[in-house]
Homo-oligomer: A and B are copies of this chain.
């Protein structure tokens, strides 16, 4: 009985898979961007039981084409303006192919030294690309959600002086408090709850007209907590919030928290890629005063998901919080090497550095910068178009590539306007031409246009704008 696919079979089928992906990328623009699938529709086409015997590879490929592809929303489509750009640049894809094909794991430095050392090299490269000082040490995590959770746990342990080595959070006499903003990502709230702080100890600091956290309000909240006997523990500030790329004032926040030894974590998951452009770095002015920082090259920059860069100032503290050292993971090299299991939650670790290494080398820094500037220019172009068109509004500043847009025909009350907004956006998405994700801003629905899919050129933005006008304005005319 055949117990494995051989290298020669892999060579043949691998070429077919590469061709299939090349064809997919070449034709993706012809597919509807957002999946039109009804709930359960994919599942019901698949057998409920696994096959007892082997199936032909052709059958698997056929199902991929017939069942899976129609059930995808195509993130690599030039008409994808939803959520955030998650570019799987093809150079990066090839780096990931090497990683999966090698099938090596980074449990410890010894378990594949190159995995650990290349990760050091590429996180150092990125550190210099975004203009950070060498005081930061980097490691690759899966996502910003996980990175933020680690930061809040590190904050908890610094404030409690390693309470985990004693009675844990449950033994703390005074409640520890986390500060965030209504515009912080949902993962901040989630991380604080998972780390044990509790809803009662999460403060949503008021924001200003530009949706940025107010440093004065943060100071007031900290003072109020101290006055009632609570212990301010951590602030999560955001450079480029999810809804509207708001910029929390890092420098002013650092100024507020420094005297209190409050942990400052900066979530630059989306905007961090933009910091490879020197002209963008004013956005996180003061970043060197943060304790931890997360940047996701698996978003705008183009590294295949998952590749979330987590930078810390105090690596020793991180390792003290996260380290384990069972006998079966010890090696003679310990003490002279980084064991990345002590830098994150999972023990197992893919060779994720390869996909970032391939991307940076195959493109070069200059080309990455030009592509991001292209997207910024496309966003500026769309801002101009929308701002100069009667009935349309851009609702928030656009420092990067995300626009918050509303079509506001006269005579609609707030509820009717919400209905109108969700209506035209949904129809546009269902048309297959584009994918936009609406969100609430100030309690009312608007449409986010997140520009920056790798294949999105000016012509796609122009077509988007034409389609938005036709759908939104047309629906008013016809009603």
Contacts and interface: CB of A to CB of B under 8 A. Distances in A.
Contacts of A75: 103-105, 111-112
Given A51-B364, A101-B93, A10 B15 contact: no
Contact of A348 (B306, B354, B426, B438): B306
Interface string A6-49: 11111101110111111111100000001101011111001011
Nearest to A443: B327
21 contacts: A3-B374, A4-B89, A5-B94, A10-B25, A15-B18, A21-B101, A24-B101, A35-B110, A35-B113, A39-B336, A40-B117, A54-B364, A71-B114, A74-B104, A75-B111, A93-B101, A143-B347, A149-B345, A186-B326, A194-B345, A306-B350
A168 interface: yes
Interface residues of A, number: 171
A67 to B, nearest CB: 7
A98 B51 contact: no
A363 interface: yes
Interface stretch (A169-177, A213-221, A257-265): A169-177
Interface centre among A165, A325, A347 (most CB of B within 10 A): A347
Interface stretch (A196-204, A309-317, A378-386): A196-204
Interface string A54-87: 1101011000100111111111100000110011
Interface stretch (A245-253, A365-373, A458-466): A365-373
A166 B193 CA distance: 10
Contacts of A186: 324-326, 329, 347
A194 to B, nearest CB: 6
A360 B50 contact: yes
Nearest to A453: B103
A277 interface: no
A96 B305 CA distance: 12
A101 B51 CA distance: 26
Interface string A272-315: 00000000000000000000000000100010111000000000
B187 A168 contact: no
A156 interface: yes
Contacts of A175: 167-168, 170-171
A323 B125 CA distance: 35
Nearest to A71: B114
Interface in A147-188: 149, 153, 156, 163-172, 175-176, 185-187
Given A21-B101, A39-B337, 4 more contacts: A10-B22, A21-B102, A76-B103, A153-B194
The 10 closest A-B pairs by CB, nearest first: A168-B198, A88-B103, A71-B114, A21-B101, A14-B18, A169-B196, A196-B196, A328-B439, A143-B346, A327-B440
Contacts of A194: 153, 164, 195, 322, 345
Nearest to A34: B110
A159 to B, nearest CB: 11
Copies in the complex: 2
A107 interface: yes
Contacts of A302: 4
A100 interface: yes
A300 B78 CA distance: 40
A142 interface: yes
Contacts of A86: 103, 105, 348
A21 B98 contact: yes
Contact of A23 (B7, B25, B43, B83): B7
A361 interface: yes
B21 A97 contact: yes
A101 to B, nearest CB: 3
A363 B93 contact: no
